[in-house]
Amino acid sequence: MSKPKVFIAMKGVPEVAINLLRKRFEVEICESIQSTKEEMLKKIPGFFGIFCCPSIMINEEVMKAAGPSLKVIGTMSVGYDHVNLPVMKTNGIRLGYTPDVLTETVAETTVGLLISTTRRFFEANHAVKTGGWKNWTPTWMCGKGIKNSVVGIIGCGNIGTSIAKKLVTFEISQLLYTSRSEKPAVKALGGKLVTVDELVEKSDFIILAIALNEDTKFIINGERLAKMKSHAILVNIGRGGLIDQDELIKALQEKRIGGAGLDVMTPEPLPLDNPLMKMDNVVLLPHIGSASIETRIEMALITANNIIAVLDNKPMPNEVHC
Ligand code: DGY
């Protein structure tokens, strides 16, 4: 009897996870670095599972193209805003994701992004490599330090809490956070639960660590950007859609805020002619929050095991229940 089929919609998935899937499935991997919509629509009719990541839209068209054989989507990510949940649910398709395993790695990236933005590491590095470094000059390449500052974290789930734990060791003056309810672990660090508006007004550093959904889309809009301190640094490691990017560009161009460190943006990859590309006070990373080798291997294995669990009609190691 032929094995059920799984389509891996991107290249570069660690071999160990592909081999695990091959024991139970016929595995097909997309042709280019990432499957185009056209390729997916052509390939997936009759497939049991899709192995994907946040840049691959799993919408109604894709799920309908796969047809009734499609039983599982495994996304190699903690975020799943790229999957149409109502259509998935209506069609009895299950969704696996990879929370927890990436928490520390994403928190590490966030701290690195925050420091490199406020302390101008990339600008300074560029100057060194292009002959802009003339001397040790007292105020050249200075940025705002983290010590004694107010740090605000929007969304204090596991990742936000881990960021908070790391940043309190920098001797900050106050930790503010937003969440649906008070978080004892963040309270124990001295964190104060506030509204988004209070947080943006009072923070020197504002970190977005919240999932993207209908309620959080453009949580940072023009109005909230206008409330920020003129030296505030905005860091986003959630999703590009959390920020009204056109408004952010205006605020940066008009020097109404200090800078931005973005691991996520709209669209991804960001076109080379986007104004953000030319700004010295903006650090852009290519969505590498969880990109440590160990974490990515674990994420791939969990994704494979999530898919296998559905074949075995068992609970997934990590399932999105919606
Ligand atoms: C996730 O897991 O959702 C991240 O954005 C990927 O690094």
| Token digits of residue 198 | 């209070």
Same domain for 135 and 264, yes or no, is yes
309: left (phi over 0), alpha (psi -120 to 50) or beta: alpha
Q: 54 CB under 6 A from ligand 1?
A: yes
| Residues 88-110: tens digit of each pLDDT | 999 999 999 999 999 999 999 99
Same domain for 161 and 252, yes or no, is yes
- Of ligand 1's listed atoms, the one at least distance from the Cα of 98 is 2
Same domain for 166 and 266, yes or no, is yes
Same domain for 165 and 314, yes or no, is no
| Token digits of residue 203 | 């923070």
The share of the chain scoring above pLDDT 70, in percent, equals: 100
| Residues 7-62: tens digit of each pLDDT | 999 999 999 999 999 999 999 999 999 999 999 999 999 999 999 999 999 999 99
Number of separate domains in the chain: 2
Same domain for 139 and 38, yes or no, is no
Residue 145 sits in a domain whose CATH number is 3.40.50.720
Same domain for 167 and 269, yes or no, is yes
Q: Tell me the residue range of the domain where 49 lies.
A: 5-97+293-320
Same domain for 44 and 67, yes or no, is yes
Q: 302 CB under 6 A from ligand 1?
A: no
- Atom 2 in ligand 1: residue holding the nearest Cα: 77
Kindly provide the ipTM of the predicted complex, given to two decimals. 0.95
| Residue 287 falls in the annotated catalytic set | yes
Axis-axis angle for helices 103-118, 121-129 (nearest 10): 60
Same domain for 135 and 279, yes or no, is yes
Same domain for 86 and 228, yes or no, is no
Which residues is 66 bridged to in the sheet? none
Same domain for 88 and 107, yes or no, is no
Q: 289 CB under 6 A from ligand 1?
A: yes
